[in-house]
Structure 1
Amino acid sequence: MQNDLLHQGDPLADAVIADLVATGRTSAVNAVLAEFRSNDQPIPDSLPPSVRDYLIATDTPPAWMDADRVARAYDFFVDDGVHVASILSFGAMVNCYAQPRPSKVLNLTHRLNQPHRRLSETSQFVLDLMAPQPFTNGGSFVPTIQKTRLIHAAVRHFVAQSPDWDVETDGVPVCQLDLLGALLIFSVQVIDGMRRIGVTVTDVEAEDYYYVWRVAGSILGIRDDVMPETLAEATRLNAELVEAAYAPSEEGIALTRGLLELYKKFIPGKAFDGVVPAMVRQVVNPEVADMLQVPRSRGWSRFVTSSARIMRFFERKEDTNRVARKVLDKAGALLLTASTRTLTSGESTTLAIPDGLRQSWSAAGVCPVAVDGK
């Protein structure tokens, strides 16, 4: 199965990019799609037929989607969305860099020196997923997925033409195998990372969280037949398909170094430089941290480990202790704010928090307002 997935892209989106490149309309379509932001927004009339047909064909969630399960996942996002975003930033992105093939693709697209842009794009994707009804009218997630599929297709088209990429040996860039691996990292491994830092995630919450990602994966163009139906199956596949393929690479090490440097800019003074790599080491496997040359800091590692124990204590008390809840939520909000700020200019990114989450997080006093500057 792996070899099949390695050489398969996304035929629907790939055909659109081939048409746009052949007719020289890529820039014009980019300008129109930049204004295409919500699920219930009419498809612009000025788009070429191939793009309009693609947007119509990819606008509907899979027939097997259970709206009640998606709604339950939203409740989980309201309670723990800030922690989800934190683990995605500190753990999931690093785990992505432990995969040599995707890291090589990033190098060939000249994005090794843009960690803030990758972080911003990933964070916005996840925030859109956290909307109350991400796959129906009113949200922004479906257009986000549709545009992401076209970006992936464009990367496949141009990287495959690079003399530094051998399709026969390396497979298709951003292939089905890569997409499935990313899905497992953003779902299975995020749940594992949350538990590593002491956040309690029930089995039902974990299943619903994975389920939402499986729906998203289907709309993103991942074959339904290769996505596990249950979290247990996904956990096994993650170990066999993703973690077993981790390996060091020059590109992965460089990407990780850039991400760590980005986070270090949040921390004033040299004395606290070790806290960022210590946090990364807390949420990823030690082997991954070592192969990507994440620095060690015994003092900060002990501090972060102790903090995880404290988090677990608060989690056990949070249902009856308002102070405990505030400590947990504030810690998550601070991490989310830090992990989504563009530091090259000292200004916030233009990330948009879905209204439902904004209202809930603001009521709880944990909305990271610096994320979108409001």
Structure 2
Amino acid sequence: MENPTSTLPDLRAEGDPMADRVVGELLDSGELDHANQVLHGLRHNDQLVPEDLPDVLRTFLLETHPLPAWVDHDRVARVHAFFRHDGVHAVSALSLAGLVGCYAVPVGAKLLRTTHRLDHPHRRLSETTQFMLHLMAEDALGPHGDLIPTIQKVRLIHAAVRQLVLRDGHWDVEQDGVPICQDDLLGATLIFSVTVLDGMDRMGVHCPPDVAEDYYYVWRVVGVLLGLRADVIPETLAEGRQLWQTMALRYQGPSSDGVELTGALLDFYHDLTPLGARGAVPAMLRRMIGPQVADWMAVPAGHWEKAIAHAVKVEERLHDAEEHHRLARRVLDQVGRVLLKAEARRITHGQSTEFDIPATLCPVTTPDLPPARDGHTG
């Protein structure tokens, strides 16, 4: 594979032509609302594509449903075991280090603030959590999973944001590139794979090399399904980490938009955290993303950082015990699943999250939802 670093400048001018064409036609024909209503019922990988969709959208769903021929299903299946074991840690790292890693890219943060779609932390976290739950499920990409329709909808959401921003006429393509360009998709894929693994490692959860490699591999598959060109994402974790270091130096930095988005995220978690432990989340975030990015994003420092450092040492001891004692592993796996479901219930209020294709750049408001009832996990 050609070294992706040599193609980075060109990737900023390229979007997702296939999805862009679909969304462009839906916007022009006024069929987007109807399409969203029908798509609400498309949730499972083995569902037939509804007949009452616009032809252009139905064709897109049919053509993007098959997995690439190079996908190794055994590797995907092995990652489910990783999620069953460490899923709660992966979601925590992605919901903190992953999102703030995106906010630390000034152009990306500017886009989020421009569209107003993703700067609402409740909706952003609901969508991220729902996506991760589908990704972590057994047979996620097989006939019994729910991930493929979710990926297709997210890809269309990206295309809609791209089209709407370009049609608005206020985005400087020459300066900032095409919104959600191939470069952005590549960076996001690396953030959600490389930096999540690094964030877990800094929290004392050390994945064996083969497990980390498989986790990265699954995100390669997901990135391609989301419209990323397969020829630009590195094949190995080591190559991906090297590329992300290059991209981070090139694109990450301080911005007022990034600070605002990070502040909104921390405020949201602040309201979910028990009163006496509200300094724990920014302390965890600072440890996962490192002091430079944390300072750029105005993540507050405090005495909780010492407590988190101590907790990491405890986690490392527990993780070592878990690896070497079968009974402990079963117990902690079960605890991890309970914690993950509880986190999902808190963020989604026990409601299923809809991935609607936006028709305007107006802010998306999320109404106050009732507390989750027993039996509903989102």
**Identical aligned residues as a percent:** 45
Change (3 A) 1:197 1:335: farther
Task: State the AA in 2 paired with 1:59.
Answer: H
Q: What residue is the counterpart of 1:290 in the other structure? A: 295
Q: What residue is the counterpart of 1:316 in the other structure? A: 320
Q: What residue is the counterpart of 2:309 in the other structure? A: 305
Q: After superposition, where does 1:10-159 map in structure 2 within 5 Å?
A: 10-111=16-117, 113-159=119-165
TM-aligned CA deviation for residue 102 of structure 1: 1.4
Task: State the AA in 2 paired with 1:305.
Answer: A
Which of 263, 275, 279 is residue 274 of structure 1 equivalent to? 279
Change (3 A) 1:281 1:99: same
Q: What residue is the counterpart of 1:242 in the other structure? A: 248
Q: What residue is the counterpart of 2:346 in the other structure? A: 341
Count of residues in correspondence between the two structures: 354
- The CA deviation string for residues 55-91 of structure 1, in whole angstroms up to 9 with x for no partner, is 1110111111111111111111111112111111121
TM-aligned CA deviation for residue 49 of structure 1: 1.0
Contact conserved, 1:337 with 1:371, CA < 8 A, in 2? no
Task: State the AA in 2 paired with 1:280.
Answer: L
Question: How far apart are the structure 2 equivalents of 1:328 and 1:296?
Answer: 32
Answer yes or no: is 1:233 the counterpart of 2:239.
yes
Contact conserved, 1:199 with 1:315, CA < 8 A, in 2? yes
> For structure 2, which runs of at least 5 residues remain unmatched after alignment?
1-6, 355-371
Aligned-pair Cα RMSD in Å:
2.3
Could you say what secondary structure the match of 1:142 adopts? Answer: helix
Which of 190, 194, 199 is residue 196 of structure 2 equivalent to? 190
Question: How far apart are the structure 1 equivalents of 2:68 and 2:328?
Answer: 42
Change (3 A) 1:43 1:338: closer
TM-aligned CA deviation for residue 320 of structure 1: 1.8
Could you say what secondary structure the match of 2:301 adopts? Answer: coil
Contact conserved, 2:87 with 2:336, CA < 8 A, in 1? no
Question: How far apart are the structure 2 equivalents of 1:335 and 1:289?
Answer: 25
TM-aligned CA deviation for residue 373 of structure 1: 3.9
TM-aligned CA deviation for residue 254 of structure 1: 0.6
Could you say what secondary structure the match of 2:272 adopts? Answer: coil
Question: How far apart are the structure 2 equivalents of 1:335 and 1:306?
Answer: 22
TM-aligned CA deviation for residue 294 of structure 1: 0.2
Change (3 A) 1:293 1:3: same
TM-aligned CA deviation for residue 234 of structure 1: 0.4
Contact conserved, 2:351 with 2:376, CA < 8 A, in 1? yes
Task: State the AA in 2 paired with 1:5.
Answer: L
Q: Which has the higher contact order (CA 8 A, sep 6+)?
A: 2
Could you say what secondary structure the match of 2:168 adopts? Answer: coil
Change (3 A) 1:112 1:11: closer
Question: How far apart are the structure 2 equivalents of 1:201 and 1:212?
Answer: 15
- The CA deviation string for residues 291-339 of structure 1, in whole angstroms up to 9 with x for no partner, is 0000010x20000011001111111111227458746864785476347
Task: State the AA in 1 paired with 2:144.
Answer: G
User: TM (normalized to structure 1)?
Assistant: 0.89
Question: How far apart are the structure 2 equivalents of 1:127 and 1:241?
Answer: 28
- The CA deviation string for residues 241-295 of structure 1, in whole angstroms up to 9 with x for no partner, is 13542111111111100000111112232x4321111111121121110000000
Task: State the AA in 1 paired with 2:290.
Answer: N
Could you say what secondary structure the match of 2:145 adopts? Answer: coil
Which of 189, 206, 209 is residue 203 of structure 1 equivalent to? 209
Task: State the AA in 2 paired with 1:219.
Answer: L
Question: How far apart are the structure 2 equivalents of 1:308 and 1:39?
Answer: 38
Answer yes or no: is 1:222 the counterpart of 2:224.
no
Task: State the AA in 1 paired with 2:313.
Answer: R
Question: How far apart are the structure 1 equivalents of 2:331 and 2:304?
Answer: 24
Contact conserved, 2:42 with 2:149, CA < 8 A, in 1? yes
Task: State the AA in 1 paired with 2:289.
Answer: V
TM-aligned CA deviation for residue 350 of structure 1: 3.0
TM-aligned CA deviation for residue 129 of structure 1: 1.2
Task: State the AA in 1 paired with 2:287.
Answer: Q
Question: How far apart are the structure 1 equivalents of 2:236 and 2:129?
Answer: 25
